[in-house]
Chains A and B, each alone.
Chain A
Amino acid sequence: MAEYKGILVCGELADGKLASITTELLGCGRKLADDLKEDLSCLLASDAVGGASKEAIAFGADKVYAVEHPALKEYQADSYMQAAEKLVKEISPRTILMGQTSMGRDLAPRLAFRLGTSLTTDCLDLSIDPATKLLTQTRPVYGGNAQAMFTSEFMPQMATVRTKAMSPLERDDSRKGEVIPTKIDIDTSKVRTKILETVKEEAVGIKLEDAPVIVCGGRGIGSPEPFQTTLKELADLLHGAVGASRPPADNGWVSEALHIGLTGKIVAPDIYIAIAVSGASQHTAGCTGSKHIIAINKDPEANIFREAELGVVGKYEEVVPALTNKLKELLAG
């Protein structure tokens, strides 16, 4: 039996650069690798990996496997699986980490089943049990109403990690590491899906993930219009973005791209203003990383007040315009 050794991060690129989740995974992987006194490797697969390999080293990797193939230009499960499976079988890592992202959610379970091992998705915390060297994996369950700690005797140990749950290392371009260009044949006749079209639906203005202030509306908003008026005015004033909990997205009041929560976007702005949001755990899972949560809800018993540090009990139709007007006055003065 092969010896399983080292940590492998399956990285992602965003516009040719290392995606922020990958820097977070490298930060977490570095610590695990140091605890084990083993290497941290990073797989980067694309049609052109370019300078991202050096970035991965600057963020903590000892080795970068750069796999380039035209079929890896866009994420498609059947081509990426071939690259990941072949590399993993070649280097037999002890632990494989991926982001709980569009790609990681799709790829990690497939790879875990293919390898006959186990996987814990959406982890918030990972550590090495010093006695067994097994990976202890902590993740939220029951829509965020509890957390569970898992271990597995199966190898390799696989986990996906929630975005913004881990901190990247400080970028250090003097770090030494090895870039290993890795040739992997990809049989494109085995790709059973075809992307016919890719459509961007992003709302105009500041991206939700980058906004320092988010004004989020919930089910209690009641219709599409206030997202364009009452909420947008407050967001614009604070140079922020408008978001929503799941019901407004499900009801079609706003685009799915604005959905914040367990199954939507995970955000961590400085200020998060939750308006007419009940605060179901599925929603708060997407915003607990915010520095300051402010809640406005007519129901004093709403769960969101257990998450918030400041709150107003009242109908948002009356509270929010007054808040916006007063802020306008104060910010001008």
Chain B
Amino acid sequence: MPVNMIVCCKQVPDPEAPPSVFKVVNNKMTLPPDVKPVIGQYEEFALEAALKIKDTGGGKITALSLGNKFVRDVIKKALAVGGDELILLEDEAFEGGDSWSTANALAMAIKKIGEYDIIFCGRQSSDWDAGQVGLGIADILGIPAVTLARKVEVVDGKAKVERVIPDGYQVVEVTLPALIIVTSGLGALRYATLKGIMTAAKKQPVIWKPADIGLEPSQIGAAGRHSKLDKLFQPVKEAKCEIIEGETPAEAGANLAVKLREAKLL
């Protein structure tokens, strides 16, 4: 059966950038301009989950993102890999939000989209790591949600989900429409084909402003927060590593053994 899917994606600073480039200045994370933004790692898995379903039964994928100043080449990756439509909630007023204002705006946009069987989200954004937005959207829309999915299939109008638990996994069946939150273990997002990149280049994203989804400025972004960020800081870490030397790596390894014994660590 063709499945109508929405995938929520976030543009974030590359989380794989070396820790040394992450600098807090004036309560804000500031990264050098050469650190490129990317689609969050878990949203990439969410896209792949949707694409796998489209591969088997067909369907439509709408990628949805909220933010401001999207880098078109970055966010259009959702189209290049096989998404059909891209909707951007793009406005200065969306900046500085928290899980509450973000989930609320995304839920309103999803109501406007109207028809869907599955909404996919990543388990947590790769910048704030809160892991709340997907569950918030599901609660606002009043639909069931399954978290930590590593495999998703649609069988007889229901979704069958492998959900990761601490010592293994569960197979969970959920009625549709549903929101499914994806973790790793599903396989990396496929590469865009040349054809995909060319199709994406020609497509224009749909841009919605706050008024288009029926929201007042007081409900979105920084103004719509339920939590207040009092301080962003980086605890000072003193490097204190003692490097054990040796003529060869093997000798250094043996010297480490001696050191561990001497220090009575083992």
Residues of A with Cβ closer than 8 Å to B? 77-78, 101-102, 105-106, 109-110, 112-114, 117-122, 136, 140-143, 145-154, 192-202, 213, 238, 246, 249-250, 256-257, 262-263, 265, 270-271, 279-282, 292, 294-296, 300, 303, 305-315, 318-323, 325-327, 330-331
Contacts and interface: CB of A to CB of B under 8 A. Distances in A.
A14 to B, nearest CB: 10
B119 interface: no
Contacts of A119: 99, 132, 227
Interface of B: 13, 15-16, 18-20, 22, 24, 29, 98-100, 103, 123-124, 126-132, 135-136, 138-140, 144-148, 150, 160, 164-175, 178, 183-185, 188, 225-235, 237, 239-244, 246, 248-261, 265-266
Given A121-B131, A143-B126, A249-B184, A326 B136 contact: no
Given A319-B252, A323-B253, A330-B261, A122 B241 contact: no
Contacts of B123: 263
A50 to B, nearest CB: 22
Contact of A256 (B135, B147, B150, B232): B150
Given A151-B227, A311-B243, A201 B249 contact: no
Contacts of A153: 228
A195 B171 contact: yes
A250 B188 contact: yes
A122 B148 CA distance: 16
B72 to A, nearest CB: 24
Contact of A315 (B147, B171, B249, B258): B249
A201 B170 CA distance: 11
A197 B228 contact: no
A95 to B, nearest CB: 14
Main secondary structure of the interface of A (DSSP, over half): mixed
Contacts, number: 258
A109 B136 contact: yes
Given A306-B237, A318-B249, A198 B98 contact: no
Contact of A154 (B148, B226, B249, B252): B226
Given A122-B129, A141-B127, A110 B227 contact: no
A77 to B, nearest CB: 7
Contact of B229 (A145, A150, A282, A296): A150
B76 to A, nearest CB: 25
Contact of B131 (A105, A197, A256): A105
B19 A145 contact: yes
B99 A109 contact: yes
A110 B139 contact: yes
B245 to A, nearest CB: 8
Contacts of B240: 309
B172 A141 contact: no
A142 B129 CA distance: 7
Contacts of B168: 198-202, 257
Nearest to B45: A250
A152 to B, nearest CB: 5
Given A194-B172, A250-B188, A312 B250 contact: no
A256 B164 contact: yes
Given A320-B253, A322-B251, A118 B227 contact: yes
Nearest to A196: B171
Nearest to B160: A196
B165 A198 contact: yes
Contact of A146 (B24, B126, B225, B244): B24
B10 to A, nearest CB: 13
A165 B165 CA distance: 21
Contacts of B103: 113
Contact of B22 (A145, A149, A318): A145
B15 to A, nearest CB: 5
Contact of B253 (A117, A256, A321): A321
Contacts of B132: 109, 112-113, 119, 121
Contacts of A305: 239, 241, 243
A282 to B, nearest CB: 7
A151 B183 CA distance: 28
Given A109-B131, A150-B228, A322-B251, A114 B139 contact: yes
